[in-house]
Amino acid sequence: MAIGKNKRLSKGKKGLKKKIIDPFSRKEWYDLRAPTVFETRVVGKTLVNRSQGTKNAVDFLKNRVVEASLGDLNKNEEQAYRKFKLRVDDV
């Protein structure tokens, strides 16, 4: 080995592991609201990653599709067999 070369000191430690972070700590809950035609306004909740840098949380929410029954939307169990697909347009 040549003088002045110590390869072991220049390299990082082998086998270092990343710090494990809970994936749900980086997410936010948003309420999903139905149009004013229906009696029930809040359809449910959904998770989305927080805004970070150029990635915006609003962009991830748009165009999501949620399925809800008419019985839940109008508080009438007789119409529960009909289902609607609601798309997120505005945040």
User: What are the pLDDT digits (tens) for 67-85?
Assistant: 999 998 998 888 889 999 9
pLDDT at 2: 63
**Single-letter code of the amino acid located at 29:** W
pLDDT at 41 over 90: no
Chain-centre distance of CA 85, in angstroms? 19
What tokens does 83 get? 């289902």
The three-state secondary structure class of 90 is coil
pTM for the model stands at: 0.68
pLDDT at 42 over 80: yes
In sequence order, which residues have a C-beta less than 8 Å from that of residue 8 and are 6 or more positions away?
A: none
Q: What mean pLDDT is predicted for residues 10-26? A: 75
pLDDT at 58: 86
Q: For tokens 């989305």, what's the residue?
A: 48
In sequence order, which residues have a C-beta less than 8 Å from that of residue 2 and are 6 or more positions away?
A: none
